[in-house]
Amino acid sequence: MHGWRRARLTERTKQTATGRTLTFEVPHWPGHLPGQHVDVRLTADDGYQAVRSYSLAAPAGAGGDRIELGVQATFGGEVSPYLADDLPVGAEVEVMGPLGGWFVRTPQDRGPLLLIAGGSGVVPVMAMLRARAASASGDPCVLLYSVRAPDEVWYATELDAVAEGVRVRLLYTRTAPEGSRRPAGRITADDLLGMPPPTDTHCYVCGPTAFVEHAGELLLAAGYGPDRIRTERFG
């Protein structure tokens, strides 16, 4: 599980101005659970190496030895801008994984699901949604997805298709589309009205630290137990 494996970039898809989906071919990939991540290692000509973690965006199985990562380029970053725009298709990096045993949804996990994502925090959540679609689970499922503006939505076209039986509610924080009933603004207690009940719902919250802190407070205030809220923060 923990050795470095060579991974060849086979496809890069633009999600937003700075967000990319990268598909790698990794021979003998052992599989993974929705919510897990990998470490990606880059090596410069002088031997210098840099490593960062990226979430897996798709469940294992469907793609065989292929894995899909979500990369959000951060301005001035050492690794993410290179992965987002410079690594040539066909070139190789190294990956280690899968990693992470906590922010995961296993096939045995049952019950209503409340997914709350901010920005590129939707990536590991997308793996859970895609796995749910593949398993034809009938459990209630809601995605609350907070983005600054309509052009920052990842998986925009796929969200409709993956969403059979899933309620997707987009929460725009800066700019809402014309005709939106909800005014632009960060997630509030009102946005949690009508969600699956606290009694048996599992919550997964992923996004920038301030977003996760705030959403976590709202969930606790709405009666969701701390032991049913799993979080992943970045930035």
Partner 1 sequence: MGDLSPGFHGKSHAFAGRLPPGQYPTESFPVLSAGPTPDIPTGRWSFTLTGEAGESRSWSWDEMMALPQEEPTVDIHCVTRWSKFDTRWRGVPLDVFLDAMETAADFVVAESFDGYTTNLPLEDVTDGKAWLAHSFDGFALSPDHGGPARLVIPHLYFWKSAKWVKGLRLTLDNEPGFWESAGYHDYGDPWREQRYWSD
- Residues near partner 1 (CB under 8 A) are 1-2, 6, 39, 42-45, 47-53, 78-79, 82, 86-88, 91-94, 99-103, 205, 209, 212-213, 216-217, 219-220, 226-227, 229-231, 233-235
Q: Which is nearer to partner 1, 79 or 141 (CB)?
A: 79
Q: Count CB atoms within 10 A of the CB of residue 41.
A: 16
Query: Minimum distance between the CB of residue 37 and partner 1, rounded to whole angstroms?
Result: 9
Q: For the chain, how far is it from start to end, CA to CA, in angstroms? A: 27
Q: Which is nearer to partner 1, 26 or 229 (CB)?
A: 229
Query: Minimum distance between the CB of residue 25 and partner 1, rounded to whole angstroms?
Result: 15
Query: Minimum distance between the CB of residue 200 and partner 1, rounded to whole angstroms?
Result: 17
What's the rounded Cα separation, in Å, for the pair 205 and 229? Answer: 7
Spacing of C-alpha 96 from chain mean position: 18
- Alpha helix stretches (DSSP H) within 84-208: 122-135, 156-162
Q: Which is nearer to partner 1, 47 or 138 (CB)?
A: 47
Nearest to 197 by CA among 178, 175, 225: 225
Q: Which is nearer to partner 1, 126 or 212 (CB)?
A: 212
What's the rounded Cα separation, in Å, for the pair 167 and 145? Answer: 11
Query: Minimum distance between the CB of residue 226 and partner 1, rounded to whole angstroms?
Result: 5
Judged by DSSP in three states, 63 sits in coil
Residue count (the chain): 235
Q: Which is nearer to partner 1, 135 or 188 (CB)?
A: 188
Q: How far is CA 98 from CA 4, 95, 133, 134, in A?
A: 11, 9, 21, 20
The helix (run of H) or strand (run of E) holding residue 71 is strand 66-72
Query: Minimum distance between the CB of residue 114 and partner 1, rounded to whole angstroms?
Result: 13
Q: Which is nearer to partner 1, 92 or 184 (CB)?
A: 92
Query: Minimum distance between the CB of residue 177 and partner 1, rounded to whole angstroms?
Result: 30
Query: Minimum distance between the CB of residue 223 and partner 1, rounded to whole angstroms?
Result: 13
Let me know how many helices (H) and strands (E) the chain has, helices first: 4, 11
Q: Which is nearer to partner 1, 195 or 229 (CB)?
A: 229
